[in-house]
Amino acid sequence: MGTRMPLIVIIVSICIGLFIIAKEKFITESERPNLDLQKWWGPGNRPEIEDNSIRPFNIEFNDTMIKDLKQRLKNRRRFTKSLDGMQSFYGINADYLEEKLTYWESKYDFKKRIESLNKFPHFKTRIQGLDLHYIRVKPKVKGDTQVLPLLMLHGWPSSSKEFDKVIPMLTAPRDGYQFVFEVVAVDLPGFGFSEGTNKPGLNPVQMAIIIRNLMLRLNFEKFYIQAGDWGSQCATHLSTLFPDNVLGFHTNMPVSSRPISMIKLLIGSLFPSLIDSDRPERVYPLKKYFNYLMKEGGYFHIQSTKPDTVGYALTDSPAGLAAYMMEKIAICSNRNQLDTIHGGLDNLDIDDVLDTVTITWMNECIVTSMRIYAEGVSSDEINAVHNIPTKVPTAAIKFLDEVVYQPNWILRDKFHNLVQSTIVDYGGHFAALHTPKELVDDIFEATVKFMKYHSTQKE
């Protein structure tokens, strides 16, 4: 050996040094920010008398909307052909897009899809000035079967429609379990049929407050949560700020955004197989992981900085809206199928995908939904809440092609009581549509552990 220290020893020494120097910044928990729990997000000022009514709601694809949409699709410009052999590497394939737009225009059964969407009871109520839409399904139970309230939160680009495959399974009694769920599936503000705001600052922390107030409106003082994507961020903040309301949190996109977690991610790259004995290849080597994020994260940067510009273009063109949304849904369903014409989208039912696109089109909510990126990237209150651990019992299920993967030793920075962690070597980001059975099975198993955790705490 030479006299020079091995490179790895130098790197480790630097990391340890930085860790010690930055201990105060990266390890110390933040204090709970002072938050207005009744902040007004509606237009104008808060009225003297607020409307607290709960109103039944029926989804409609009216004939005028359908006729206009079909006419726009029919009159669309034909797209520049995709490059030979590039399949989906440059974005959604032109031939595939033409095929799906033709299907949307001529074969997608609007009336049948409406019937499917309306098979559940829908409601609206005004919370802090915004009309929120939600599905509420009460199970039919016999005997001593316990009914547990379950709040479900989606992400982008989506709505409560994402849960229509899992709701029947969650609300039906199953062998081996003495409980079943009453599901409340909410459209986040500015998504689906929920109203957006004209005021800046509606970030996931503020959405968490709104959604908690919705659950209190529905007389649920304590409840379980299942969420993914931005819904998981809202649910994480809700669990952090209001732990007395949350009995358990199940997520298919578990993320710790504490500063210490970022440092540990880097340190883990030095000894990945020792640090993460489960699936280190999902995040290491970091060069491969960051290359993926850089290649597929351009939309994130655009929507985090200038969401309105691209949003206005998508609002005016159903073909453009479908292309943009379907390409993002595809890559999150299987990132390793860019060498196919569908780019990953064929992992989902095309009618489910077009339900989501149609709901976004008819409600003109692509702009208000995309703004969650600009509002949610960084602010003093978001950063503070990120850096506060939660002791709410938490369960994570990690599907293969989820956008973000973190090993348990990092997740526990945020979720001190991670009672269950499931690794699945298939599936993707839209778990409720892609792998509904696996998701529901995991929710039931996790809830048993949530209940055991609480019974242990009482002893």
Instruction: Find out whether 416 and 389 touch, Cβ atoms under 8 Å.
Output: yes
Instruction: Find out whether 191 and 365 touch, Cβ atoms under 8 Å.
Output: yes
Residue with tokens 């081996």: 176
Q: CA dist 400 to 165, 282, 333, 357, Å?
A: 20, 8, 9, 25
Q: Which two tokens stand for residue 142?
A: 């016999």
Compute the distance between CA of residue 16 and CA of residue 419 in angstroms, rounded to an integer. 30
Instruction: Find out whether 201 and 371 touch, Cβ atoms under 8 Å.
Output: no
Q: Which two tokens stand for residue 114?
A: 């409406």
Beta-sheet pairing, 130-137 with 223-227:
unpaired
Between helix 318-333 and helix 63-74 the angle, nearest 10°, is 90
Instruction: Find out whether 117 and 164 touch, Cβ atoms under 8 Å.
Output: yes
Q: Which residues are catalytic?
A: 229, 373, 429
Residue with tokens 């008819």: 362
Peptide bond into 157 cis (omega under 30): yes
Q: Which two tokens stand for residue 157?
A: 């680009």
Compute the distance between CA of residue 152 and CA of residue 183 in angstroms, rounded to an integer. 7
Peptide bond into 204 cis (omega under 30): no
User: What do you get for the CA distance between the two ends of the chain, in Å?
Assistant: 59
